[in-house]
Structure 1
Amino acid sequence: MQFTSLNTIADLVAVLPVFDETSVAAAHVRQNSLTKPPGSLGRLETLAAFMAGWRKTARPEINRAQALVFAGNHGVCAQGVNPYPQEVTGQMVMNFQAGGAAINQLCRANGADLQVIPLDLDRPTQDFTQEPAMSEAETLAAMQTGADAVDTQADVLILGEMGIGNSTVAAAMAAAVFGGEVAAWVGAGTGSDAAGIARKIAAVKAGLARHQGCAGMAVLAALGGREQAAICGAVLAARAAGIVVILDGFICTAAAAVLYGTDPRLLDHCLIGHQSAEPGHAKLLNAINKDAILKFDMRLGEGSGAALALGILRGALACHNGMATFGEAGVSEA
């Protein structure tokens, strides 16, 4: 998948794969033949059917799970929105690469191959309160990096991010796409106090005022960051390959929400790993009409909630594929 213009992203809907209802129907037939009351596994059954529709088989499997964590730095940190210095982004990338972060443990526990991709950490985006965060060329380049990182042989893709200041970026993008009171989108992020949250709100308001009227993919260039653009590129590349995506928390979902604002169908293949403790995430999930798999009061980022949700998805498919039918087990049906 090659990206040449932000204006053409909406056109991809016409050529990208769609949900296969025939496979879903066959998956439902199997579910109803298993040794359990119909619907008794609740959302596990829904998740198995979701996988069936996108993997185009009645009995989908996860033989390869990929996890991608994109990292970037942000010019809006000039507004004092970050309680930690931007050097922490690079330091955490090194921690990921050394295997010492939460995402490393959760990927190992749930069977995902992790790759961490820093994006020009020594060159933060521009301060969106003063000018667009990225040019179109910079945005497209970051999207391409995300798309090129996707393993097209994967069955599921976990997406996460790291970037000091990016909870402010996420709030700005969510507010630009869906509107509403800015304060409702802004939370503590990595630990901002009341004064820090006030600075975040002021920065988001200033950015929205400066870029008033921008919509669709233009929001990504005006207010986003390189890791948000890479997430968008990876989401689209996964869709082209029929790969189910598990998005992480507020920041990751806000990045993908730009695609939703361009055309809601661009996120049809995406699951939400968990509902973040960041206050804007519940509001954002309602706006994109998706329910999170988990609600564990997590707000770490890194793809940690998505990696944890992978275990639930594996469990759903283990039941779907491994349980005996009534006939196989010699159990009488009602």
Structure 2
Amino acid sequence: MSHFISIPHILGDIKPLDINAATAAAAHLDSLTKPPGSLGKLETLAIKLAGITGVERPSFPHRSVIVMAADHGVCEEGISAFPAEVTPQMVLNFLAGGAAVNVLSRQAGAEVLCVDIGVNAEMNHPDLISRKVRMGTANMAKGPAMSREEAEAALLIGANIVNEAYDRGVRLFVTGEMGIGNTTASAAVLSALIGVSPLESVGRGTGISDEVLRHKALVVERALECNTPNSLDPIDVLSKVGGLEIAGLTGVILAAAARQCPVVIDGFISSAAALLAQRFLPESAVYMIASHTSHEQGHAHLLKELGLDPMLQLDMRLGEGTGGVLALHLIDAACRIMAEMATFESAGISTGGESAESGTNQL
């Protein structure tokens, strides 16, 4: 079993999309019994999956939702509607199969891998992947959330969990997370990387009041002022105002790209990790599939910056990977169209000559 031992090692393995496979997929779609391009985003998705995997008609029987769990020291500033104790309690809920992501993953035929990468509690469970870097981050409103070395360690943990799953035959990954306070860290990451003000990046998270929302924006502003993260150095941003689960997910996304596997990006927190991955290597973004637009106001900024068009709009803001898992049904639909739909030739149907509009499929 190979392991990613450094960030440059991972980045060096990320290749451009396979244009030949994508072109072949587009041609196959245009031969199917439908007007070219008439399945819209499903066709675009099918072509992208071919380009990612290098296989004209891929399928994904084994898929993993990687739920990274960690705590945030900034919770002591009173920025969440839920206490920090909920993080370890929810981890046990994931492990018992009782959370929303478990329910939706069962429906989608996906396994849930729950990783303790920084929960501020001693956790023991036979199904828990225990990779704790530290007992939660420090309060970023008073100084760096973690050290640079800790951020790098968390990123490599995420990468190697992908590696281990890949060795078991997993070829499709979904990002998930749990951590009270992580919308605050994600908002700080967003503001640090693209320069939008905390008033634009901060959202209601677990459902805070207007008063707490204003306070949360001030806390993010304070964190940015006291840490001055360098927008050109993603590890600096991660270590100063990020979270351990965000770092872990950044590693998951980069490692999936290095393994030529699609990675489905869930909501706001996952998209903050996705933007960090893109800042490590812009080419990594072509391996990402945006599942949905979260109700968190900063999410649209992240998706625009990533150049990703989400599949769904469901007004969700739960996290855990729930939106990502719902998008698996659309990925399956795109794969089945490619594998099972008849061509005009095989069905003996006239194409109507050259008058049909050409498809508008593109990566």
Which range, TM-score by smaller chain? over 0.9
After TM superposition, give the deviation of residue 17 of structure 1 in Å: 2.2
After TM superposition, give the deviation of residue 260 of structure 1 in Å: 2.0
SS for the counterpart of 1:124 is coil
SS for the counterpart of 2:107 is helix
- Which of 191, 195, 216 matches 1:179? 195
More displaced, 139-148 or 268-277? 139-148
Q: Cα RMSD between the aligned structures?
A: 1.4
More displaced, 50-59 or 14-23? 14-23
Residue pair 1:159, 1:246 contacting (<8 A) in 2 also: yes
Ranges of 4+ aligned residues in structure 1 off by more than 4 Å: 11-14
Aligned: 1:128 with 2:140? yes
From the superposition, tell whether residues 164 and 213 of structure 1 become closer, same or farther in structure 2 (CA, over 3 Å). closer
After TM superposition, give the deviation of residue 144 of structure 1 in Å: 2.0
> For residue 131 of structure 2, what is the aligned residue in structure 1?
none
- Equivalents in 2 of 1:38, 1:111: separation in Å? 31
1:86-165 aligned at under 5 Å gives the runs 86-122=84-120, 123-150=135-162, 151-152=165-166, 153-165=169-181
Residue pair 1:3, 1:143 contacting (<8 A) in 2 also: no
1:239-254 aligned at under 5 Å gives the runs 239-254=257-272
SS for the counterpart of 1:149 is helix
Aligned: 1:170 with 2:182? no
After TM superposition, give the deviation of residue 102 of structure 1 in Å: 0.7
1:28-67 aligned at under 5 Å gives the runs 28-67=26-65
- Identity rate, percent: 39
> For residue 291 of structure 2, what is the aligned residue in structure 1?
273
Q: 1:20-65 CA distances to partner (integer Å, 9 max, x unpaired)?
A: 0000111011101111110011110000001000110111111211
1:308-323 aligned at under 5 Å gives the runs 308-323=326-341
- Equivalents in 1 of 2:218, 2:318: separation in Å? 24
Residue pair 2:229, 2:237 contacting (<8 A) in 1 also: no
Where do 5+ consecutive residues of structure 2 fail to align? 121-134, 353-363
> For residue 71 of structure 2, what is the aligned residue in structure 1?
73
Residue pair 1:81, 1:165 contacting (<8 A) in 2 also: yes
- Equivalents in 1 of 2:225, 2:187: separation in Å? 14
SS for the counterpart of 1:170 is helix
> For residue 26 of structure 1, what is the aligned residue in structure 2?
24
Q: 1:151-207 CA distances to partner (integer Å, 9 max, x unpaired)?
A: 223221001101000000000000000012211111110011112111210111011
- Which of 199, 203, 206 matches 2:222? 206
1:4-19 aligned at under 5 Å gives the runs 4=6, 9=8, 13-19=11-17
When normalised by structure 1's length, the TM-score is 0.95
After TM superposition, give the deviation of residue 125 of structure 1 in Å: 0.4
Q: 1:305-330 CA distances to partner (integer Å, 9 max, x unpaired)?
A: 00000111111111111101111111
After TM superposition, give the deviation of residue 211 of structure 1 in Å: 2.1
> For residue 2 of structure 1, what is the aligned residue in structure 2?
4
> For residue 125 of structure 2, what is the aligned residue in structure 1?
none
Residue pair 2:101, 2:322 contacting (<8 A) in 1 also: yes
Letter paired with 1:159: T
> For residue 241 of structure 2, what is the aligned residue in structure 1?
223
> For residue 285 of structure 1, what is the aligned residue in structure 2?
303
More displaced, 159-168 or 119-128? 119-128
After TM superposition, give the deviation of residue 13 of structure 1 in Å: 4.4
- Equivalents in 2 of 1:248, 1:221: separation in Å? 22
Aligned: 1:258 with 2:276? yes
- Equivalents in 2 of 1:45, 1:226: separation in Å? 36
After TM superposition, give the deviation of residue 3 of structure 1 in Å: 4.5
SS for the counterpart of 2:67 is strand
After TM superposition, give the deviation of residue 15 of structure 1 in Å: 3.8
After TM superposition, give the deviation of residue 73 of structure 1 in Å: 0.1
Letter paired with 2:322: S
Residue pair 2:190, 2:196 contacting (<8 A) in 1 also: no
After TM superposition, give the deviation of residue 333 of structure 1 in Å: 1.3
Residue pair 1:74, 1:166 contacting (<8 A) in 2 also: yes
Between Structure 1 and Structure 2, how many residues are aligned? Answer: 330
- Equivalents in 2 of 1:2, 1:318: separation in Å? 33
